[in-house]
C-alpha cells in the first residue's frame, strides 16, 4: 500500500509539473488549423492561410472527451430462433437472440491532439485515442505533415502554394464531406447528433493528398495504400478466386464549391470518388477504431465483448452497416451544405460497388442522408436537429442466401446546449429499422429506439 501511495504521489507531481507546459502550449497559434472547440463546426478541409508569420517552433496540445448515458431498446421479432443463443464458458451457442441491454453509462472516450508549427507554413499533427469503445489500450489514430508553403525559395512554386496544400503521412482520407461532421471517439463537438451515417465513411490510410483552393472553388487529389495500416504481407490466400494478388493503391478525387455567398448565406457543393481495384484489406466503411455511440444495439447475445475470439470487434460498430467491400471498391458521394442565418441543411447521396476476396461478382449499395439543424441564441449556443438516413444494399451470400436488397432506415431528433465554446451537452432520440432481411438473419424485422445523452469537452 505504501508503494502504491508513493506511485500515486509521483504521478500527481509529474502531472503538476506538466501543467505550465500545457498552459503555454494552449496559447500557441497554429496556422491553417481547424479548432477542436465550437469554432471548428462547419469547417471542412483545413482553412488556407498563406500569409501567417512564423517566429519559431510552436507546440499545441488539445483534447476531446465524451461521456454518454444510453437508454436504447432493440427487438427482432421476425427472426428465426430469436429466443436462443448465448455465450458462456468461452463457448458460443448459435441462435438469433439479441444481447440483453439495460440503461446505463457507456465507456468514456478521450482523444489527445498534438499540433506543431514546424516552420513557416509547415505543420505536424498527431492524434491519439486514449480511451475508446473499440480498444481498451491507447492507439495512435495517425500523424501527418501538412505543407502550405515550401521550405525553399522559388517564385513559381511560392505562387502555386498560395492556393495549394500538400498533406503527407497517415491521415483520415478526404472522401466525401460527411466525415467532417461525424463523431470521432472523444471528439464529438462537430456532430449535432450521436452518430454519423449508417454506412460510416471513415478510414485512416498512408499516402498523400493535394488540395487546391481559389475563389471558393476547390479540388482534391490523393493516392493512398488503401489499407488502414502499413502492410508488406503477401495477398496470397486460398480463398482468392480472381487470382489477383497485386495490392493496388486507392485513388481519391474531389471537387466542389464552398463560399459565403452573402452575409447570411453560405453554400457548399462537392463530389467525391474513392476507388481501389485490388486491396489487401480495405476498410473505408469499417475503419473506425473508436466505436459507435449506440452501444450493443442489434447485436447477438452469443457475441461477447470481452472474448479473445474476435467476437468483440463487431460490437464496436453497433447500429452501423458495412457492405464488406474489402477487396474491390468504387464509391461516389455527392454532398450539399447550406447555412442561412441559424438554419443548416446537409445532404448526402452515395453509391458504391465492390466485393470481398471470396467473391467474383460485385455488389451494390446506395445511401441517402439529410439533416437539418437550427442554431439559436445570442451566439448560436443552442440547437435543434432532425436527421433521416437510409441504406439499401445487396449482402454477400454465405450461410444465408440473400435474394434481394435489404434496407435500413434511421430517424433521429437531437438538441444541444454549448455551455461554453468548449463544453457541450446534447441529447438524441433515435429510431432505426431493418427491413427485408430474411428470417434466418438475426436482423430480420429488427428495430432499436430510445435516447442517448452526451456530455462533450473539446479544446
DSSP output for 80-136:
TTTT--EEETTEEEP--PBP---SEEPPPEEEEEEEEEEETTEEEEEEEEEE-SS-S
Residue holding cell 521550405? 151
Strand, helix or coil at 178?
Answer: helix
Q: 336 by DSSP, 3-state: which?
A: strand
Compute mean pLDDT per 10 residues along the chain, 459 residues long, and list them: 39 38 57 94 89 84 97 96 84 88 94 95 95 83 95 90 96 97 96 97 96 96 91 66 80 97 96 94 91 93 64 76 94 98 97 92 96 96 98 91 94 98 98 96 97 98
Tell me the C-alpha to C-alpha distance, in Å, between residue 206 and each of 212, 225, 334: 20, 6, 24
Which grid cell sits at 64? 476531446
d(CA 393, CA 406): 5
pLDDT in tens, 315-339: 789 999 999 999 999 999 999 999 9
Q: How far apart are CA 197 and CA 176, in angstroms?
A: 12
pLDDT reported for residue 6: 41
| Coil, helix or strand at residue 459 | coil
* Closest C-alpha to 94, from 72, 108, 109, 79: 79
Helix (H, G, I), strand (E, B) or coil at 15: helix
The residue whose grid cell reads 486460398 is 238
How many C-beta atoms lie closer than 10 Å to residue 155's C-beta? 7
Question: Which residue is associated with the grid cell 444510453?
Answer: 70
Task: Specify whether the CB–CB gap between 173 and 203 falls below 8 A.
Answer: yes
Residues 201-239 pLDDT 10s: 999 999 999 999 999 999 999 999 999 888 777 666 555
How open is the CA angle 150-155-159, to the nearest 5 degrees? Answer: 70
Q: What is the pLDDT of residue 307?
A: 57
d(CA 395, CA 21): 52
User: Which of helix, strand or coil describes residue 62?
Assistant: strand
Separation between Cα atoms, residue 142 and residue 127, nearest integer Å: 6
Q: Which domains does the chain have, with CATH numbers?
A: 32-458 (2.40.160.10)
pTM of the model: 0.89
As a whole number of Å, the CA-based R_g of the chain is: 23
Amino acid at each position: 500500500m505504501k508503494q502504491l501511495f508513493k506511485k500515486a504521489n509521483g504521478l500527481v507531481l509529474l502531472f503538476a509539473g506538466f501543467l505550465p507546459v500545457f498552459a503555454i502550449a494552449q496559447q500557441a497559434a497554429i496556422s491553417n488549423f481547424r479548432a477542436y472547440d465550437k469554432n471548428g463546426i462547419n469547417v471542412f478541409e483545413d482553412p488556407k492561410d498563406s500569409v501567417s508569420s512564423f517566429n519559431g517552433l510552436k507546440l499545441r496540445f488539445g483534447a476531446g472527451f465524451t461521456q454518454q448515458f444510453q437508454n436504447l431498446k432493440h427487438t427482432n421479432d421476425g427472426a428465426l430462433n430469436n429466443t436462443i443463443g448465448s455465450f458462456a464458458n468461452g463457448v458460443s451457442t448459435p441462435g438469433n437472440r439479441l444481447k440483453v441491454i439495460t440503461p446505463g453509462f457507456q465507456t468514456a472516450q478521450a482523444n489527445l491532439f498534438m499540433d506543431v508549427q514546424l516552420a513557416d507554413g509547415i505543420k505536424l499533427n498527431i492524434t491519439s485515442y486514449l480511451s475508446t469503445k473499440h480498444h481498451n489500450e491507447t492507439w495512435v489514430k495517425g500523424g501527418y505533415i501538412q505543407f502550405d508553403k515550401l521550405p525553399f525559395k522559388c517564385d513559381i512554386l511560392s505562387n502555386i502554394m498560395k492556393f495549394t496544400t500538400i498533406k503527407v503521412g497517415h491521415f483520415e482520407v478526404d472522401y466525401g464531406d460527411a466525415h467532417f461532421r461525424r463523431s470521432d471517439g472523444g471528439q464529438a463537438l462537430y456532430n449535432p447528433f450521436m452518430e454519423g451515417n449508417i454506412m460510416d465513411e471513415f478510414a485512416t490510410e498512408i499516402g498523400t493528398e493535394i488540395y487546391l483552393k481559389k475563389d471558393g472553388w476547390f479540388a482534391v487529389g490523393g493516392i493512398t495504400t488503401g489499407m488502414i495500416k502499413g502492410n508488406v504481407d503477401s495477398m496470397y490466400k486460398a480463398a482468392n478466386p480472381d487470382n489477383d494478388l497485386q495490392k493496388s493503391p486507392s485513388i481519391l478525387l474531389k471537387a466542389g464549391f464552398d463560399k459565403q455567398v452573402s452575409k447570411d448565406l453560405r453554400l457548399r457543393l462537392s463530389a467525391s470518388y474513392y476507388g481501389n481495384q485490388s486491396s489487401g484489406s480495405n476498410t473505408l466503411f469499417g475503419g473506425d477504431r473508436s466505436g459507435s455511440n449506440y452501444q450493443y444495439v442489434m447485436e447477438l447475445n452469443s457475441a461477447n465483448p470481452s472474448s479473445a475470439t474476435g467476437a468483440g470487434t463487431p460490437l464496436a460498430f453497433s447500429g452501423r452497416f458495412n457492405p464488406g467491400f474489402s477487396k474491390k471498391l468504387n464509391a461516389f458521394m455527392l454532398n450539399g451544405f447550406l447555412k442561412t442565418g441559424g438554419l443548416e441543411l446537409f445532404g448526402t447521396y452515395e453509391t458504391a460497388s465492390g466485393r470481398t476476396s471470396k467473391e467474383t461478382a460485385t455488389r451494390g449499395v446506395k445511401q441517402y442522408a439529410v439533416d437539418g439543424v437550427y442554431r439559436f441564441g445570442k451566439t448560436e449556443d443552442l440547437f435543434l436537429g432532425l436527421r433521416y438516413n437510409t441504406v439499401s444494399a445487396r449482402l454477400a451470400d454465405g450461410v444465408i442466401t440473400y435474394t434481394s436488397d435489404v434496407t435500413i432506415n434511421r430517424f433521429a431528433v437531437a438538441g444541444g446546449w454549448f455551455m461554453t465554446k468548449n463544453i457541450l451537452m446534447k441529447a438524441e432520440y433515435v429510431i432505426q429499422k431493418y427491413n427485408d432481411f430474411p428470417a434466418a438473419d438475426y436482423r430480420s424485422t429488427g428495430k432499436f429506439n430510445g435516447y442517448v445523452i452526451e456530455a462533450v469537452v473539446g479544446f
